[in-house]
Amino acid sequence: MATLSPAVHLEAASPAYLLRSVGVSVHAFWIARREVARITRELNAHNDKQLADMGITRADIPAIARGTFRR
């Protein structure tokens, strides 16, 4: 079993390290939400005929935007 040196262990538990970790996570979440909103907005701009030509319906848009759409 690997053990951490005291310096690495203290740095990993420091408030600054934890705050940076949370900041990175929040930023990644925010970027992902913006991308989902952009994809949703772009697909909603199409009419039903255009969506049908692409092989999707309006009900599929949220799953497509989230990346969970499966046929």
> For residue 42, with 0-12 CB atoms within 10 Å meaning exposed, 13-18 middle and 19 or more buried, which class applies?
exposed
User: Which ranges of 1-71 does DSSP label H, i.e. alpha helix?
Assistant: 6-13, 15-44, 48-54, 61-66
pLDDT (tens place) for every residue of the chain, 71 residues total = 556 555 555 555 688 888 888 888 988 999 999 999 999 999 999 999 999 999 999 999 999 999 999 98
The domain segmentation of the chain, as residue ranges, is 30-71
Task: Find tokens 């420091």 and name the residue.
Answer: 14
* 37 closest CA partner among 66, 9, 6: 66
